């Protein structure tokens, strides 16, 4: 088992949502020898970095050349969370370069240096779920992602299997992750984040209508997972060198959008008021109506922590972060770590 407190760690996408949450949890576990790579650009995600402890930061387009030159030395662990995560991104060439080619280069470097490599895949690779949502490598080729983002993740999953890398690295198929540090994600923010603002402004939440008869409006189901649980699962796999392959990172339970909305209203001490709106035509053919992670493989590695309930997680997110506009790491205990 890897001792994080004495490890040197590279986190790509470390200013982003899940990446910054990983740095926060690394700090909580006594790991401060962290290098962060990201594209800060003009977004506000730099705010996620402010409370965190890390050794250095560099822009992601300088990372691979610096690694090739040996400027950064050797890492014990690479947590590769950096990617374009917009499911609506239509520039396929950009997604191939940024999500696929970059991951190939970083994984090759890690394997050559004997560095533990953990990367973000996505539940978007499962498409409409027709072929199930089981995280077994032998089923990868039958999956049919519904958007180019999902396919860019699928491309590397398949490449890692073909090159027989998958038995030496860890892929994380994140489901619907929500929680603090996602403010900068725009339209890709979770419903909890977007709906909180809606309720504050209008008193109501807008949800998409259903266009399939087996799902009532708001009855579409997703596997929602609090980001604090997601990073605990990720670091469990990262620190267990025999736990290799692709793993679902979810709660293992499908909940409706209405249930999520009601949990938000409860956390805000508001009476539920939901308005159903038309889904844009461009999204209807690419919309996932049901996702649910089979986390048996994760559990099989010895991960025994309970998953935070939807109501408790939404309450913590709203009351500890959204109300006060805090980031992970603003907690007094983390600053003293």
- pLDDT for 134-157, tens place per residue? 998 888 999 999 999 999 999 999
159 given a catalytic annotation: no
Question: Which parts of the chain are beta strand (E)?
Answer: 9-12, 34-38, 56-59, 77-80, 116-122, 170-174, 176-178, 205-208, 221-222, 224-226, 245-249, 255-256, 274-277
- pLDDT for 45-89, tens place per residue? 999 999 999 999 999 999 999 999 999 999 999 999 999 888 888
Distance CA 201, CA 196 (A): 9
- Class of the domain covering 4-175+225-250+293-305+327-335: alpha beta
- pLDDT for 282-292, tens place per residue? 888 889 999 99
54 given a catalytic annotation: no
Is the pLDDT at 1 greater than 90, yes or no?
no
- What b/e string do you get for 326-336 counting C-beta neighbours within 10 Å, with b at 16 or more? ebbbbbeebee
H and E: helices and strands count for the chain? 13, 13
Q: Are 169 and 161 in contact (CB under 8 A)?
A: no
Is the pLDDT at 186 greater than 70, yes or no?
yes
User: Which residue in 149, 151, 226, 317 is the catalytic one?
Assistant: 149
pTM, two decimal places = 0.95
User: Which residue in 104, 113, 185, 326 is the catalytic one?
Assistant: 185
Distance CA 272, CA 97 (A): 44
Distance CA 16, CA 186 (A): 12
| pLDDT at residue 332, rounded to an integer | 53
Is the pLDDT at 168 greater than 60, yes or no?
yes
| pLDDT at residue 337, rounded to an integer | 38
- pLDDT for 298-329, tens place per residue? 999 999 999 999 999 999 999 999 999 999 99
| pLDDT at residue 214, rounded to an integer | 96
Is the pLDDT at 185 greater than 70, yes or no?
yes
Encoded tokens for 13: 């996408």
Is the pLDDT at 336 greater than 70, yes or no?
no
Return the domain boundaries, the chain. 4-175+225-250+293-305+327-335
* Mean pLDDT (whole number) for 5-31: 97
């Amino acid at each position: 088992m890897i001792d994080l407190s004495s490890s040197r760690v590279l986190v790509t996408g470390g200013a982003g949502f899940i990446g910054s949450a990983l740095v926060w949890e690394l700090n909580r576990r006594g790991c401060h020898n962290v290098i962060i790579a990201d594209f800060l650009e003009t977004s506000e995600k730099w705010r996620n970095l402010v409370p965190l402890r890390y050794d250095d930061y560099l822009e992601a387009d300088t990372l691979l050349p610096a690694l090739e030159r040996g400027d950064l030395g050797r890492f014990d662990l690479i947590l590769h969370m950096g990617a374009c995560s917009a499911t609506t991104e239509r520039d396929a060439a950009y997604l191939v370069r940024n999500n696929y080619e970059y991951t190939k280069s970083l994984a090759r470097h890690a394997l050559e240096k004997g560095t533990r490599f953990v990367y973000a895949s996505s539940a978007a690779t499962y498409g409409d779920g027709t072929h199930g949502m089981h995280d077994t490598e032998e089923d990868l080729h039958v999956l049919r992602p519904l958007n180019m983002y999902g396919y860019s993740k699928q491309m590397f999953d398949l490449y890692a299997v073909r090159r027989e890398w998958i038995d030496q690295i860890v892929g994380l198929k994140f489901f619907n992750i929500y929680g603090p540090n996602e403010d900068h994600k725009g339209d890709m923010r979770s419903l909890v984040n977007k709906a909180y603002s809606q309720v504050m402004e209008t008193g109501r939440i807008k949800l998409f209508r259903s266009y399939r008869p087996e799902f009532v409006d708001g009855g579409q189901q997703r596997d929602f997972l609090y980001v604090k649980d997601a990073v605990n699962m990720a670091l469990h796999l990262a620190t267990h060198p025999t736990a290799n392959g692709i793993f679902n990172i979810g709660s293992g339970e499908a909940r409706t959008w209405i249930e999520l909305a009601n949990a938000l209203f409860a956390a805000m001490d508001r009476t539920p008021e939901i308005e159903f709106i038309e889904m844009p035509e461009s999204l209807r053919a690419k919309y996932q109506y049901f996702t649910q992670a089979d986390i048996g493989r994760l559990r099989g590695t010895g991960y025994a922590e309970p998953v935070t309930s939807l109501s408790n997680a939404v309450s913590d997110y709203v009351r500890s972060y959204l109300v006060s506009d805090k980031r992970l790491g603003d907690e007094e205990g983390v600053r003293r770590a």
